[in-house]
Amino acid sequence: MLLQLRHVTKRYGDMVVIPDLTLAVSDGEFVGIIGPNGAGKTTLFGLISGSTRCDSGQVLFDGDDVTGLGADARCRAGVGRTFQIPQPFLSMTVYENALVSSTFGAGLRGRDAQLRARLALEQCAIDHIADQIAGTLTLMQRKRLELARAIATQPRLLLLDEVAGGLADAEVNLLLDLIGELHRSGTTIVWIEHLVHALTSVAGRLVVISAGSVLDDGEPNQILKSARVREVYLGSDLDSDVPHAAH
């Protein structure tokens, strides 16, 4: 098992965001996570990546207890993530952004760091704008750079947080091709996404989070037919007829 969360809890004062969550992800899986706003999905990513400390419970990565490790140590162990709102270094070039990730995230130096940064940009099809200042990029380009920065850290587990949000349908399809290729290359992926039709086209498993707990977990088409899952969403954006692509 690549990732295990055992009875993890997180509270902010009197507000309990994650009451008692247990979740496991196998090496090589592609897991989609859905849930209503405020369900605790992004907090969950913080607990996995180390940017947020749990109040109790354990986080294990590849069999090692990483509960006490910060985000930098977990990144070097192989946990990479993107953020819902891209967070590039705006005054740096696209290439320099990727180089920071390969150097400090992956722990590479010199030519190895440079090659890893270039490869990440090529994988995300933004190598042609490597010398462009990040602050001048379009939304789609920033999304791709956010992904490239995560890839440059050489993750075994890649956490994607709403990477398709705000994109046009054609841009979403291009992003799906890229993410699918990353998964086929051996990267384990956990993806939070409100665009359920996009998620179910690539994910082999769907986990529904509600009020900081796992409401349902299983094969996407079956999950989307669940009455209790539809009740949580009030039928707003779930389509049980969405095809689930094999991968």
pLDDT tens-digit map of 144-170:
999 999 999 999 999 999 999 888 899
CA distance 62 to 130: 34
Mean of per-residue pLDDT scores for the chain: 92
Q: Pairing relation of β-strands 188-192 and 157-161?
A: parallel
Q: Which residue has the higher pLDDT, 204 or 233?
A: 204
> Which residue from 87, 55, 62, 90 is spatially nearest to 77, judged by alpha carbons?
62
Q: Residue 235's pLDDT band (boundaries 50, 70, 90)?
A: low
Q: What percentage of the chain reaches a pLDDT higher than 70?
A: 94
With 60 as the cut, is the pLDDT of residue 8 above it?
yes
Q: What is the dihedral of CA 244, 156, 87, 100, to 10 degrees?
A: -150
Q: Residue 243's pLDDT band (boundaries 50, 70, 90)?
A: very low
pLDDT at 152: 98
pLDDT at 97: 98
pLDDT at 197: 87
With 90 as the cut, is the pLDDT of residue 59 above it?
yes
